[in-house]
Chain A
C-alpha cells in the first residue's frame, strides 16, 4: 500500500514514479513530487520505484497568476 495525497492506493506498488504519473494522467511538466518527506528530482522519475509504505505527495499546478 502506498499513500498518495493522503489516500491509500493498493495497485501502485512496483510502478516507477513516471509510470504512476502517466497512469493517473498527470502532466509531468506541471508537477512536483515529494516521497517520504524528500523532493524527488524530475531526472529520477523513471528509476524511482514505488514501494510498500511510501508516502507520496503529488502537486500539479494549473495556469493563472
Chain B
C-alpha cells in the first residue's frame, strides 16, 4: 500500500494526492452532483463506482458548463487511451492535399491532439468540395489551408497549425517537408501522389509516408485496407478504384480511406510500424 493510504492520481489534468478510495467517494469529496456529470476513468466513461489506483486519470465534466482554460485540454482528451495524447502532442505530421482525404485526416489528427500539423495545399474551397470535404459554405472562396486552420482552431486550440499555400512540385518537395517526421499524401492527382512519395522517400530515408490510392465510387467499404508496401511507405485504399468519368468521389468511402490513413499515422506516432 501507499504511505498513509494515499495515492497520486490526476484529476482534470492536475496532479492530486488523495486518500485511497473509489470514483464515487472522490466525486462526493469534490462536491459534484450526479446530474449532468460525465465521469471518465483512464479514457472510459462510466456511471458505476470503480476503485481508484495510483496513476489513474480521472476527468469530471459538468455538461453545459464552459470549463476553465486549465482544465479544458484534459477534458478534450479525456476519452483518449491513456498516454496517447501526450505522445501525439510531441508529434509533427504534414498533410499534403486538403481535399476529401486531407481535410478529414487533418481534423482527425487535430482531435487526436497531434502537436503540430503542417497543412499544404494551393487551392481554394469551391462548391463541389462540399460533398466530401470538411468545409462549410462560409469557407467558399477561401484558401483551403486558411479555412482548415480556422476549423481546427475551433476543434482543438491546443495544437499548432503551420500552413503552406503552394503547389507541391519537384523543386520544393525537399524544403517543404524537411521538418515533418510523417508525411501524409492526400492529393487527387496520381502524378502528384507519385511525385510526393518519390521525393520524400528518396531524400529522407527516415521519414514515413502514408499514401492513399483507390477510394472512389461506392464499391464495398471492405476493399479499403492499409498495407505496408515498402520500408517507409504505407498505402491505404483498395489500390484500384480510381476516380474517372462516370465514377465520382463521395464522403462515405473517402472518409473510410481517410480514417485508415489517420489511424496508421497515429500508430506510427505511437511507435507501431506494423500496418
> Which A positions have Cβ atoms within 8 angstroms of B?
27, 29-32, 34, 37, 39, 41-42, 57, 59-65
Contacts and interface: CB of A to CB of B under 8 A. Distances in A.
B187 A39 contact: no
Contacts of A60: 190, 213
B241 interface: yes
Contacts of B198: 32, 39, 41-42
A65 B231 contact: no
B201 A62 contact: no
A62 B191 CA distance: 9
A59 B187 contact: no
B190 A62 contact: yes
Given A31-B194, A39-B198, A62 B214 contact: yes
From A34, A39, A42, residue with most partner B Cβ within 10 Å: A39
A9 B241 CA distance: 25
A62 to B, nearest CB: 3
A6 to B, nearest CB: 10
Is the contact region of chain A dominated by helix, strand, or loop, or is it mixed?
mixed
B216 A57 contact: no
A57 B249 CA distance: 27
Interface string B85-108: 000000000000101111000000
Interface residues of B, number: 36
B229 A57 contact: yes
B193 interface: yes
Given A34-B230, A62-B214, A64-B249, A29 B191 contact: yes
19 contacts: A29-B191, A30-B190, A39-B198, A39-B202, A41-B198, A41-B202, A42-B198, A59-B197, A59-B211, A59-B229, A59-B235, A61-B193, A61-B194, A62-B240, A63-B242, A64-B188, A64-B212, A64-B214, A65-B215
B183 to A, nearest CB: 13
Contacts of A65: 97, 99-102, 186-188, 193, 212, 215, 249, 254
B230 A63 contact: no
B215 A64 contact: yes
A63 B190 contact: yes
Contact of A32 (B189, B194, B214, B240): B194
Contacts of B254: 64-65
A60 B100 CA distance: 20
Contacts of A34: 229-231, 233
B270 to A, nearest CB: 24
A39 to B, nearest CB: 4
Contacts of A41: 198, 202
Contacts of A63: 188-190, 216, 242-244
